Chains A and B, each alone.
Chain A
């Protein structure tokens, strides 16, 4: 079964510090990977997907097939980045979206 692992439940950094939220996946095919974010009192929403290779709100994520990782990075964290972040993967058929356990990012002033 496909599995997504986010080893850190909580990540606390100061404003302006670099951030890296770790994600490892287990699907042996060619997965489609995503990062979703849930701000306080808001719905879970897409932050970015690996196929787009884009930067959203200063965040980027690189797929490393050798390490089966898809870590989320931002060079300078902002207080408004505080939220729950979930890494997710689709199987090849795109019909089973599996999430990691989530990492709570707290950015302190």
Chain B
């Protein structure tokens, strides 16, 4: 079934650890996005990609990095997690100017 998947759904990790949040979509969409959703529920664009080997930073500065080696896969990595990275991370994909499809999100807690 065509969908967009994020793993893990929940992650609690210690300060200083390296983590990778996974995002995969089976819809063949070119454009993919990562958003950070604050506790107050605001959504901030942190990374986006036009297609394979293309990545750009979004409006909100983030210490995370992303890669797009395959169309369907857009992982986000934090080299050294800190408590300030505690948030919910949403992945989305679109084709052209059409509707964006969102994953279930990863709720990250850094202790």
Q: Contact residues of A with B, CB < 8 Å?
A: 1, 9, 32, 34, 36, 43-46, 49, 84, 86, 88, 90, 94-99, 101-102, 104
Contact = CB atoms under 8 A, between A and B. Distances in A.
Report whether over half of chain B's contact residues are helix, strand or loop; otherwise say mixed. Answer: loop
B111 to A, nearest CB: 24
Given A1-B59, A43-B102, A99-B35, A94 B97 contact: yes
Contacts, number: 53
A44 B45 contact: no
B99 A95 contact: no
Interface of B: 31, 33, 35, 40-45, 48, 50, 58-59, 90, 92, 94, 96-97, 99-100, 102-105
B41 A43 contact: no
A44 B42 contact: no
A46 B43 CA distance: 15
Given A96-B48, A99-B43, A102-B42, A46 B97 contact: no
B97 A90 contact: yes
Q: Report which residue of B35, B40, B100 has the largest number of chain A beta carbons within 10 angstroms of its beta carbon.
A: B100
Contact of B43 (A96, A102, A104): A102
